[in-house]
Amino acid sequence: MVVWRRWVFPILLVLVLGIAAAALVKIAFFPDTAPTAAAQPSAQIADPVVPVERGAVTNALSLPGTIARDTAYPVRSEVDGTVTAVHVGEGQAVTAGQKLFTIKQTDPVKNIDVLAPEAGDVTEIAVVKGQPASIGGDLATLTPARFHVQATVDPVQLYRLQGAPSEGSVTIQGGPAPFTCTGLKVSVAEDGTTTVTCAVPADQVVFAGLQAQLDIDLGTVSDVLVVPTTAVKGGSGTGVVWVDAGTGELEERDVALGVSDGAIVEVTTGLEEGEQVRQYVPGVLAGEDPVCYDDGMGGEYCEPAGWSW
């Protein structure tokens, strides 16, 4: 043990310290690799551009709607006289031409039958037997056996509905095959509520309150110049795009717009095929979330950021 303490342990300690010192010298003065140069940017960030191309665009609007009964209206007397008979009761279903009342005309004296103008339900009777009747006076209220589809949309959709066709396609979940409704019209109430309605054909069996989808084809074009809607500021006929001429500068240019499906839009004037336009309107970031609106029927529809119909 004396030999180990006096000779072996001290020699081993000197060897270990020597190896450690040699390693530190190598790390400090003889590194394995040369120092890495500071990273330099390899390219500058540029605005993404897309070419003006030819394509086809279909502007189709799908609206959630409801089947509703047509509005009731009054049945009025066309003569002066006295009601001598009431042939129906409130809530009764009647057919077109069915006798509702008999009025004894005073001049000249004769009996006049008042007939149902169309099939429906007599929802209210305004006169009784023996009561005087006058021209234009209400005799009853008739709710016609006609139905329509109605859908409520945000007023901004009025731009898309300009020049809308006179018909649409109706789909009822769990109902008959899709069918065509006619007489499509758009109305705006005093409170700004925008409603789209169209008539259900008489041969279709439907019921008030059913949920339906109303599809409207607002225009289809093919072989036209198109750009993404994200590249256009504006909408509804006119807009602005930013053209890249390859000089590093962006040229702001007015364009005329046609049909759009929400993703791409037809450019009728202002651009040539092959020109490069900025993909996103300045101030709108790539991938920025779309702007969504309540459709008034428990759902929503969305538009690209910076776009308006």
> pLDDT tens digits, residue range 106-141?
889 999 999 999 999 999 999 999 999 999 999 999
Sign of the torsion angle spanned by Cα atoms 84, 77, 80, 99: negative
Q: What is the pLDDT of residue 209?
A: 95
- Over residues 281-300, mean pLDDT: 53
Collapsing DSSP to helix, strand or coil, 277 comes out as strand
Alpha-carbon span 185 to 187, nearest angstrom: 7
The type of residue at 243 is: V
Q: Which token pair is 241?
A: 């795009």
Alpha-carbon span 79 to 146, nearest angstrom: 28
Going by pLDDT thresholds of 50, 70 and 90, the confidence category of residue 41 is very low
> pLDDT tens digits, residue range 137-176?
999 999 999 999 999 988 877 877 877 899 999 999 889 9
Q: Would you say 241 and 282 are in contact if contact means Cβ atoms under 8 Å apart? A: no
Alpha-carbon span 148 to 195, nearest angstrom: 12
Going by pLDDT thresholds of 50, 70 and 90, the confidence category of residue 293 is very low
- Over residues 50-64, mean pLDDT: 92
Which of the two residues, 262 and 239, has the higher pLDDT score? 239
- Over residues 2-28, mean pLDDT: 61
Give the end-to-end CA distance of the chain in Å, rounded to a whole number: 98
Q: What is the pLDDT of residue 39?
A: 45
> pLDDT tens digits, residue range 80-93?
999 999 999 999 99
Q: Which token pair is 203?
A: 């041969």
Alpha-carbon span 81 to 147, nearest angstrom: 35
Check pLDDT > 50 for residue 268: yes
Q: What percent of the chain has pLDDT over 70?
A: 77
Any idea what the Cα angle at residue 199 is, between residues 197 and 200, rounded to 5°? 125
Alpha helices in 39-90 (DSSP H): none
